[in-house]
Amino acid sequence: MMKITYKKYAPVIAAAIIFCAAGCKKDFLDTKYDIYATPGSISTDRGTLFTFAYAFYTPLPYGFTSLDGNFFAAATDEAQRAGNVPTGTLAFNDGTLSQINVPADETANYRNFYEGIRAANFYIEYSKNWREFLARNRDTITDLNYPRDKRLVGWFRGEARIARAYYYAELAKRYGGVPIITQTLEQNGGQVMPRSSYDEVVNYIVTEIDKYKDSLQVNWKTSGDKDQDGRFAKGSALALKARVLLYAASPLNNPANDVTKWQKAAEAARDVITTTGLNFGLYTGGYRNYFIGNASITSGNPETIMAVRRPAANTPELANYPISTAGGNSGISPSHNLVADYEYIGAPDPLDPYKNRDPRLAATIVTNGSTWNNRVIDQSAGGSDDMAKSNTSPTGYYLKKYLTDGLNLTNNGTAIHSWVLFRYAEVLLNYAEAVNEVYGPDVVPAGYPYSAKEALKLVRDRASTLLPAITATSKSDFRAVVKHERRIELAFEDHRYWDLLRWKDAETILAQPIKGVKVTKTGTDYNYQVVNVASRLFKKPAMYLFPFSQAEMVNSNGTLVQNPGY
Amino acid sequence: MNNRYILQLVFTGFLLAVGLNRTAAQSVAAANPNDTIAVIPATVQGRLFNISTLSSTGAVSSVSGNALQKNVVPNLTNTLYGLLPGLTVTQGNGEPSFDDAYLAIRGVGSYGYLGGAGGYNTAKIFVDGFETNRNYLRSFSPAEIESISILKDAAALSTFGMRGANGVIYITTKRGQIGKPTVQFQARTGLQRPTNINKPLNAYGYANLYNQAISNDKGNVWTPFYTPDQLQAYQNSTGVNVDWYSEVLRAQTPYTDGNLSFTGGDTTTRYNVILNYANQQGLYDVANKDATSNEMLKRYNVRTNLDFSFFKIFEAKVDLGGRIEDLKSPNYVTSRSTAGLWDDLARYPSNIYQIRDGDTENWSGTALYPNNPVASVKALGWASSHARILQGNFSLRERLDFITKGLFLSEAFSINSYALSTYNKTASYARFFNGVTTTTAQTTPLRATGQSAAGQEDWKQGTVTLGYQRAFGDHAITSAVNYHESNYRGDGVFSFAYHYQNISGRANYTYKNKYVGEFGFSYFGSDAYAKGNRFGFYPSVSAAWIISNETFLLNNKVVNYFKLRASVGKSGSADTEGAGSPVSGQNGRFLYQQYYNASGTFYMGDGSANANNSLRALFIANPDIFAEQSIKYNIGADINLFKKLNLSLDAYMDKRSGILTRDNSLSASYGNNILIRNLGKQTNKGFEATASYTDRSGKLGYSLMGMASFNSNTIDYMAELATAYGYNAVTGRSFGTPIGLVSNGFYQLEDFNADGTLKAGQSLPQFGRVQAGDLKYRDLDNNGKVDDNDRTAIGDPGIPKLTYAFGANINFMNFDLGTLLQGAGGSSINILNYATQTQAFVNNGNAYEIAQGAWAYYPNEGIDTRSTATYPRLTTATNANNYRTSSFWIKSGNFLRIRNIELGYTFSARLINRIGLSKLRVFVNATNPVTWSSLLKHHHMDPETQSGYPALKSYNTGLSVTF
């Protein structure tokens, strides 16, 4: 009996054993999730030498949406936000920037700039064996793409260094000294690097640029790889260096006014002008045209040193067209403080204060009585843009620079908007400012192409040859002239705030009320009454630097030292 | 015994009766004919083996399948209200096939389950020992179910390893018993209606408030949009005033279900075959014909459970459970659901247009309100889907008494297959307004759009068990070890396999029926983790002391049964979405593996912007990532007094650690990289109590029951981004606690200067310019500004802390009457989340009764609600100050519902035996008929289903026959 049962049972126990043996396969738990690239899959994909490089470019700033979805200008004396002032802008306007009140855009910037640095660090490590990688699995003789790949990737190696330097420059102008990280931080939650000093950061940037400036394409626009324009090149690296050294020589960072710092800044600016092969010049198609459409990013334009491109869109127009234009939101309303600073090129017209002005006014700002979006802007009571309507411009001005005229927003009309990071006019003004501080306005130093005044005049003449002649002969008088010229020429290009900081002028200028004009009409004549539109506050000395956010301070466990005053 | 549910609890020599018998002859004698009351079953369901109630050391609550029949609903999850202490069941919407209730065992033990449609509903579901998912649970018929148990503590969950941390819903299906063949039939039919619909204001009410809103926006100057003539027309019904809800919906809709079962068997073969059919119609007022269809669910269930005994030592089981679910609805669907239509119904004002444009047959529609709700159900054709589900379990058990007495081996295999396909017949219509078309849509005729697959999954599992059960004198041992292998594969976002292996075991030792000790373990491996780091060991120990079997209590007249239990043990949770996980739907798997994906675009080109996708790390790979861990402590007592009163009490604590969490403490100098780590910690505490009392007095038998479950959790650590102040933080509070501003009345005219600025001395709100009638908030940090740093906890989490239920069953002569009420407490609802109903006019929306309490002051028009306002001033724009999470919008979610009432009549056996029946019962039933809730009373919102397709109540009749 027992035997019979056992025999019957044998196959079953055998089946159980087989079942278990089949199931207990050692790799049963080795499942895969194959939607994304893995270290294994990228190791055979030489395209990653390109895609990982693009990653250190994506965090580049795009100034059309840098603060609360709009230009940074509303944080300065250039403009006031129409309607409810968003919280990020308010932190600057009200001087309430603090550890617990860092605008979301700046928290994101801090992270994004370090994201760019991390991507650059990663690329430098990842592409170590790039030559061998590019040659792998292809016939390097017959494959026609191979030489081009080799060329482009070789440059990416240098660009990674410059991109990293660029992000450090952006961080330093906000925070002063920041932690310098030159390799990817491996996963290690506790590791927080201490801040380097501002001078160390500047020194790091300059050293990197000097070391790698010759590993870069000289000028994409004049090269055989025009389609790669938008990447860093020797010209943009030198322009970056010139800007960084100018900031480092400025009163905020050079309180003892060490003239050798100005000297370095002057030399760096000179190099952008004189280095062979760069061939930068001023655009001759008109100041207004430079900023609209694709003018600034075509290879025929010698002024652009580097620009951030985006596909055609209408975000700036949606944000800044007058509210009375269908789809518009008024947005950035230029201040009368700025408008008043545009010079006259003829006798003032008592009836029209906007007549006979520096043509850059009409190219930058929509003034009352001018034509914009296919209508004459009339801000008087009952007019097309009656200021009593809600969400109209509080200052009596609308933004024009960068905006294409007459886009049909309800039909989703779009235009190209490129954010120029470096252009030749800025280099000339950097040059004028630095050279003046070392040599005065009229000296052409040995080995230099222009005197400070001549460089400045190039910029002014491009705007209009009718502008009053510069008569300043002293360093300090000319300093005021350069400051004025930067305000006008570089309006809304996100230079103003940082210029005021580095000149240490912010505590006076950013504390003055924003002015606007109240427009009334008698008969067919407009009357303009200058009024205060909004008060401003600048908390000194704290606001000369940004505060690190509360979260960042807590996360650093005391490693990070907060900027003074916060 | 057949399928009759007879429970006899044999406790060491005496019978503790919870007599339950469904035969006609005995039903009158039984106190509790309807099983609504939670009874103490003879055995406690568990993994590897069931064990006698006496020897059980775990916290398990159970309910019989028959008890679930009291809620006449098609979705099993909606039958569980108030029956299982420790299970929070929150009603969802009522749309056929999308009406899952939210289920949580012992509340929210971990905040780490944020992804997926199920939210944190991650209790695992096992059917007859094999894991299944909610697709399978939803469409169970109660007729198939012997019992549902909720496994709650470390002892009950000891063998589940990484499936155990959030509890297990353990279902056993009905099996055949030795006896003559029995046929049972039940049919029910009824009418369903919404528990509640919050209707918007009519055209007159809407227009009146709109005039206020637009005037408020224009500097508080009375500038009405609607003229007095228009208002007059709305009032006397000559203006456009469409009640969209009445036009689209029918008042009530039929529901029918029926089941037929055959059961019986002998010593060699036993069978239980169940056929079930359910037909639920939707609420739409549209004919079922070629071109249109009401929403309807038709479901067919077949279950065949067979048992074979042969060659003396073998026992085999063959269980096949299959379903076909056909769902059809008007073709206004997103992911098969018509939820979008309910959004339109709630959002479209009454005065936008007539249903048909002018005197034509053309459907009205505008660019702003393009989807005419009536046309949505009548002019778009229909959509249908077909789900096919099959679970097949096969097992063979060998008694190895010839080796040693009590030894057995068993092998089992399960396949579970699910496939969903769709088939539509679609049409479209041109939108007209005042005789012209307003959108690009064209009228197209009905056409079939073919069949397409819409998802499938299959699940293969196998187990091998070696067990040993024996009693020697005072000693009794029940033990088993088991190997379980699971292989799940689906498609869509789960286009990868889920594999796990589990070696587990339990050993229960009972001494003299007084002292019980149990040890359990699981050695569990999941494919979600790095090689070498896949397995975890999860032990548990538990004990019980049956005090009533001590000599000093033996034969005590008061205390018949008194057991104390205690357990402690470890369990885990794998495959859970990490909080802040970069990849939704990845369920926190493969975080050890470095992945790269396209992220961000770099543009370059000569005069153009050519896109170049960049590649970057998806997250920072973490090779140490592992399953979340839970340590559970439980103490409990089971008591019977006077042979009539049953009490069961449990108190527990669950300490979670290693909850997958984004490490926000990573310095921003890491860039945007995301690192997920096992960081989070949470503590969950609570208690459960149930009591039932059963007695009879003459011809009147009655039983009463009540239960309450309370739990409260605290997030101990979640790597939260540092907040400005401690009181802004989520850490230290219960999961889901609303954090917002503290509302402090309305701004009044006196608060402002003549130029509209706030007078000095008041904190300045940072959410845009305020005017009289706007909400005022407390400036908690007294810095002169009201901003996000003034937020704090302003209510309870949305998931109730307390759920309770009570009920009664009475029988008198041949009548029986039973009812169950269930309620919840300690929950808050942020009504701002239901913006369509609460944010009047915003985004061209509608206005509801709540907006009639708006602050307004237009003395010339006779409008002045300054002192009586219950709602901020109206606006036609979005308003960042008023429509912001604050205590103003937090309302109590507490409620009490009658879940069911049933009155039955059982014909006497004498009468029906003559026509060949052994039992005949007819009944009337009301499911979900009444709700008490302040939210419902004051804001017309159902406390559990605040928006969308409403929850349903129903009135039904039925009969059950046993041949």
The CA–CA distances, whole Å, from B243 to A179, B292, B949 equal: 64, 21, 17
The pLDDT, as a whole number, for residue B801 is 95
- Rounded CA-CA distance B504/B641 in Å is 37
Cα B339 to chain center, whole Å?
Answer: 17
Tens digit of each residue's pLDDT, chain A (566 residues): 344 455 556 666 666 555 555 555 668 888 877 778 899 889 889 999 999 999 999 999 999 999 999 999 999 999 999 977 888 998 999 888 988 889 999 999 999 999 999 999 999 999 999 999 999 888 888 888 999 999 999 999 999 999 999 999 999 999 999 999 988 876 444 567 899 999 999 999 999 999 999 999 999 999 999 999 999 999 999 999 999 999 999 999 999 999 999 999 999 999 999 999 999 999 999 999 999 999 999 999 999 999 999 999 999 999 999 988 888 889 999 999 999 999 999 999 988 999 999 999 999 999 999 999 999 999 998 899 988 777 889 999 999 999 999 999 878 899 999 999 999 999 999 999 999 999 999 999 999 999 999 999 999 999 999 999 999 999 999 999 999 999 999 999 999 999 999 999 999 999 999 999 999 999 889 999 999 999 899 998 999 999 999 889 988 888 899 999 98
CB burial of B841-850 (b: ≥16 within 10 Å; e: otherwise) equals bbeebbbbbb
Chain B CB contacts of A110 under 8 Å are 668
- Looking at CA atoms only, how far is residue B528 from chain A in angstroms? 8
Write a three-state SS string for B351-386: CCCCCECCCCCCEECCCCCCCCHHHHHHCCEEEEEE
Asked if B896 and B823 count as a contact pair (C-beta separation under 8 A), the reply is yes
- Rounded CA-CA distance B214/B858 in Å is 13
- Are A226 and B606 a contacting pair at CB < 8 A? yes
Interface membership of B695 toward A (CB under 8 Å): no
- Are B606 and A221 a contacting pair at CB < 8 A? yes
- Are B785 and A553 a contacting pair at CB < 8 A? no
Compute the Cα dihedral for B811, B812, B817, B820 and give only its sign: negative
Facing residue for A55 by CB, picked from B525, B589, B615? B615
Interface membership of A523 toward B (CB under 8 Å): no
The pLDDT, as a whole number, for residue B4 is 34
Cα B240 to chain center, whole Å?
Answer: 40
- How buried is A490 (Cβ within 10 angstroms: 0-12 exposed, 13-18 middle, 19+ buried)? middle
- Rounded CA-CA distance B569/B572 in Å is 10
Nearest residue in chain A measured CA to CA from B672: A115
pLDDT tens digits, one per residue of A20-62: 555 556 688 888 777 788 998 898 899 999 999 999 999 999 9
Size of interface A-B (CB pairs under 8 A): 232
Q: Tokens at residue A217, please?
A: 């394409």
- Are B496 and A31 a contacting pair at CB < 8 A? yes
Asked if B150 and B60 count as a contact pair (C-beta separation under 8 A), the reply is yes
User: In chain A, how long is the greatest CA-to-CA distance?
Assistant: 127
Interface membership of B595 toward A (CB under 8 Å): yes
Residue A327 DSSP label: T
CB atoms within 10 A of CB B492: 10
Query: Does the model's pTM come out above 0.80?
Result: yes
The pLDDT, as a whole number, for residue B770 is 87
Asked if B724 and B682 count as a contact pair (C-beta separation under 8 A), the reply is no
- Rounded CA-CA distance B318/B176 in Å is 12
Interface membership of A231 toward B (CB under 8 Å): yes
Nearest residue in chain A measured CA to CA from B783: A96
- Are B612 and A192 a contacting pair at CB < 8 A? no
The pLDDT, as a whole number, for residue B37 is 38
Q: Tokens at residue B69, please?
A: 């029949």
SS3 of A315, please? helix
Chain B CB contacts of A416 under 8 Å are 609
Facing residue for A5 by CB, picked from B313, B722, B723? B313
For residue B123, the one-letter residue type is A
Report the DSSP pairing between strands B124-127 and B168-173. parallel
Interface membership of A21 toward B (CB under 8 Å): no
User: In chain B, how long is the greatest CA-to-CA distance?
Assistant: 100
Asked if B682 and B165 count as a contact pair (C-beta separation under 8 A), the reply is no
Interface membership of B590 toward A (CB under 8 Å): yes
β-pair partners for A527:
A520
Chain A CB contacts of B534 under 8 Å are 29
Place of tokens 């500097």: B219
Query: Which of B203, B90, B109 lies closest to B165 in space, CA to CA?
Result: B109
Nearest residue in chain B measured CA to CA from A307: B604
Nearest residue in chain A measured CA to CA from B790: A100
Asked if B542 and B566 count as a contact pair (C-beta separation under 8 A), the reply is yes
B855 contacts: CB under 8 Å, gap ≥ 6: B746, B772, B773, B865, B866, B869, B871, B872, B873
Place of tokens 């568990």: B46
Segment (H or E) for B696? strand B676-697
Nearest residue in chain B measured CA to CA from A183: B670
SS3 of B914, please? coil
Q: Tokens at residue A413, please?
A: 């009309």
- Looking at CA atoms only, how far is residue B529 from chain A in angstroms? 9
CB burial of B245-284 (b: ≥16 within 10 Å; e: otherwise) equals beebbeebbebbbbbbbbbbbeeeebbbbbbbebbbbbbb
Interface membership of A407 toward B (CB under 8 Å): no
ipTM over 0.90: yes
Interface membership of A562 toward B (CB under 8 Å): no
- Rounded CA-CA distance B847/B202 in Å is 9
Q: Tokens at residue B184, please?
A: 């049972």
CB atoms within 10 A of CB A146: 15
Interface membership of B603 toward A (CB under 8 Å): yes
- How buried is A382 (Cβ within 10 angstroms: 0-12 exposed, 13-18 middle, 19+ buried)? exposed
Chain A CB contacts of B602 under 8 Å are 54-55, 57-58, 230
**DSSP secondary structure string, B324-348?**
EEEEEEES--BTTB-HHHHHHHHHS
Write a three-state SS string for A23-77: HCCCCCCCCCCCCCECHHHHCCCCCHHHHHHHHCCCCCCCHHHCECCECHHHHCC
- Rounded CA-CA distance A315/A71 in Å is 11
CB atoms within 10 A of CB B229: 9
The pLDDT, as a whole number, for residue B583 is 63
User: Which of B368, B592, B606, B757 has the most A C-beta neighbours within 10 Å, making it the best mutation to test the interface with A?
Assistant: B606
Q: Mean pLDDT of residues grouped by 10 in chain B (963 residues)? A: 33 30 31 40 80 91 92 94 93 92 89 51 86 89 94 95 93 93 95 96 96 85 91 93 96 96 94 96 94 95 95 92 95 92 96 93 91 96 94 93 91 94 94 89 90 87 94 93 91 69 96 95 94 95 95 90 96 74 69 88 95 91 92 96 94 95 84 86 96 92 95 92 89 94 95 88 85 94 89 94 96 94 96 95 92 95 94 88 95 96 93 89 96 95 95 96 92
Query: Which of B397, B350, B402 lies closest to B373 in space, CA to CA?
Result: B350
Length of chain A: 566
For residue B429, the one-letter residue type is Y
Asked if B638 and B159 count as a contact pair (C-beta separation under 8 A), the reply is no
Listed as own residue / partner, the contacts of B638-643 with beta carbons closer than 8 Å and 24 or more positions apart are: B638/B40, B638/B53, B638/B561, B638/B562, B638/B563, B638/B565, B639/B559, B639/B561, B639/B562, B639/B563, B640/B16, B640/B559, B640/B560, B640/B561, B640/B562, B641/B558, B641/B559, B641/B560, B642/B557, B642/B558, B642/B560, B643/B16, B643/B17, B643/B560
Interface membership of A446 toward B (CB under 8 Å): no
- Are A189 and B675 a contacting pair at CB < 8 A? yes
- Are A297 and B607 a contacting pair at CB < 8 A? yes
Place of tokens 């996000």: B788
B819 contacts: CB under 8 Å, gap ≥ 6: B807, B808, B898, B900, B901, B902
